[in-house]
Structure 1
Amino acid sequence: MKRRTFIGSSMAATAGLLATSKANAITNTEVQNNKFKGNINHSVCRWCYNTIPMEDFLQNLNELGITAIDLTGPDDWPIMKKYGIHASMCWGAGFGIEKGWNDAKLHEELIKDYVQMIPKVAEAGYTNLICFSGNRNGMNEEEGLKNSAKGLKQIMAVAEKHGVVIQMELLNSKVDHKDYMCDNVEWGVSLCNEIGSENFKLLYDIYHMQIMEGDIIRTIRDYHQYFGHYHTGGNPGRHEINETQELYYPAIMKAIVETGFKGYVAQEFIPSWEDKIAALKEGVTICDI
């Protein structure tokens, strides 16, 4: 399952920006000394660093003090365990972003797939498994909501039995994922209420929802009980989350902490720097409030 198809075309940055941002990371003593404050559980999405061999990447995470990775499957878990790295958001079930639970014709295969995958997640010691709504393809939101709830309800008993939380990601349909249905919090919250299980949550991607709705901090405060996980990313461009973009992540992280959230916040920006690990260092430091 391929997370993004636009990665290769999104890596450009100006030489001046590279130099300035890299200098910021190098002088950041908090990350260099691995002294995290303990208020945020830091994770990182593997696909953003997939040019780095997995074992090298895991060693880098150990050096940084980052203890978890998002978006990995069973093939990755043994080597992650070797390095003591947790799988904070698992994948490995379903058909990807464009074909999801809003399509009733896919329910039989989706249910079979998730029912097989949920116990694997639990047996490995993990608790989160991602899912997607799928694209609209001419379907209205009401029908998509009805279909999604009907299908997902049929795997909730298995998820509850194994202590696994199914999390549907909120993605933007304006820039990156044209026609994606779960592109707004109102629709996602309605789906949560329709399903009515604590084992179904929303993955609130800050980058995507900044594009679609903005008002990030108010949304977190008002709907945090529906959010089981968070992703970061700088807007515009989905690059570093520093002063080169419009979001102020320290305030966003403060709002998350104030809700009592105990899950993971995963860096999901595409590094534009030559030194990708230095960019990651800066990102986790910005979020370590």
Structure 2
Amino acid sequence: MGNKYSRRDALKTMVIGSGALSIGGVVSSFAAINFIDKNEAEKNSQKINHSVCRWCFQDIPLDNFAQQCAALGIRAIDLLKPSEWKTVEKYGLVCSMATDDFADVKNGFNNTENHEILQKNYKGLIDKASEHHIKNVIVFSGNRRGIDEKSGIKNCIAGLRPLLSYAENKNVNLVMELLNSKVDYPDYMCDNTEWGIALAEELDAPNFKLLFDIYHMQVMEGDIIATIKKHHKHINHFHTAGVPNRNEINDTQELNYAAIMKTIIETGFEGYVAHEFIPTYRNKMAGLQEVIQICNV
């Protein structure tokens, strides 16, 4: 995926690739998905707690999207801002990972100049999350900008430790995402599992966890199943997408998601698996339904 795809970009147009479903005519994403069986949610496996990242379906009104997600058996929506939480709660869904406009991939906790404003803003977000019984709030390392690995960890500890104490009293986790710096987020510091684990072990806080993005870590390091088995105690959230193009996780891409999901289940994982792919199907919700079926092992 190129840098043109970001969580802040509304996906206004989609190119229909060779892997797209052959569906006669353009099916509006705003329409109800009539192909879903009324008992679909009951049929879905309960071993995986499915979530989906909002930004990938930004062109579908949130109220409509939440209703359709609930019909698919999805339990949560990821990366929602406080103004959006009540909308999804109407349909029995929760926000599985909270964020807000100030949360910036490039400007994170590895730079001490960011600490004061980040701590102020995150305390406000933690308070709001706690009031809505939202467990997870996303944080970022920030870009390196010449900062070495050890200094980055030291700076993150200094910036995060006071917040972790505050968040623990509110029953909230701070979750740092692992992102690739090879394709999508050049210069991002927390771009490999070992760095994230080193930070987690130095912090030694029960409410600091990692968001293991399977797509990003496949791009950076591969060895997904072995890494999950080795480091699962520090992971409380997953993101999915196809590799190499960050689209649906079907047989057009290189990862065996059924095997990955089995591994996640075997570790005793009880958190959310949030699907974060760029839709290519004309009916985007059909693509999401397919992804859920693949992951229901």
Per-residue CA deviations over 1:206-257 (Å, capped at 9, x if unaligned) read 0000000000000000000010100000001000001010000000000000
Within-5 A mapping of 1:9-20: 11-14=14-17, 16-19=18-21
RMSD: 2.2
For residues 209-248 of structure 1, what are the structure 2 equivalents within 5 Å?
Answer: 209-248=217-256
Q: Is the 8 A contact 2:11 2:57 kept in 1?
A: no
In the alignment, which of 134, 140, 145 is matched to residue 148 of structure 2? 140
**TM-score (ref. length: structure 2):** 0.90
Distance 1:10 1:170, change over 3 A: farther
User: Secondary structure, in 3 states, of the residue corresponding to 2:19?
Assistant: helix
Deviation of 1:96 after TM superposition, in Å, equals 1.0
**Which of 236, 239, 254 is 2:262 aligned to?**
254
| Equivalent in the alignment of 1:173 | 181
| Cα distance per residue 1:88-123 (max 9 Å; x no partner) | 111127441110000100101111111121121011
Alignment partner, residue 264 of structure 1? 272
Structure 2 gap ranges (5+): 25-32
Does residue 1:75 correspond to 2:119, yes or no? no
Change (3 A) 1:70 1:8: closer
Q: Could you tell me whether the CA contact under 8 Å between 2:218 and 2:224 is conserved in 1?
A: yes
Give the match's secondary structure for 1:18.
coil
Matched residues in 2 for 1:7 and 1:136: separation? 27
Residue pair 2:10, 2:55 contacting (<8 A) in 1 also: no
TM-score by length of 1: 0.92
Counterparts of 1:190-205 in structure 2, within 5 Å, are: 190-205=198-213
Write the mapping of 1:32-111 to structure 2, written as runs, cut at 5 A: 33-34=40-41, 35-92=43-100, 94-111=102-119
Matches of 2:22 and 2:251, distance apart in 1 = 10
Q: CA deviation at 1:33?
A: 2.8
- How far the C-alpha of 1:59 sits from its partner, in A, is 1.4
Q: What one-letter code is carried by the residue in structure 2 that aligns with 1:148? A: C
Percent of counterpart pairs with the same letter? Answer: 48
Counterparts of 2:162 and 2:118 in 1: how far apart (Å)?
A: 10
Q: For residue 13 of structure 1, report the CA deviation from its aligned partner.
A: 3.7
Aligned to 2:122: 114
Aligned amino acid, residue 160 of structure 2: L
Deviation of 1:177 (Å): 0.3
What are the superposed Cα offsets for residues 56-80 of structure 1, whole Å, 9 maximum, x if unpaired? Answer: 1011112212110000011001111
4+ runs of 1 displaced by more than 4 Å?
A: 5-10, 28-32
Stretches of structure 1 lacking an aligned partner (at least 5 in a row):
none
Over 3 Å counting, the alpha-carbon distance change for 1:232 and 1:168 in structure 2 is same
> Match for residue 172 of structure 2?
164
> In structure 2, what is the Cα distance between the partners aligned to 1:21 and 1:101?
46
Q: Distance in 2 between matches of 1:218 and 1:32?
A: 35
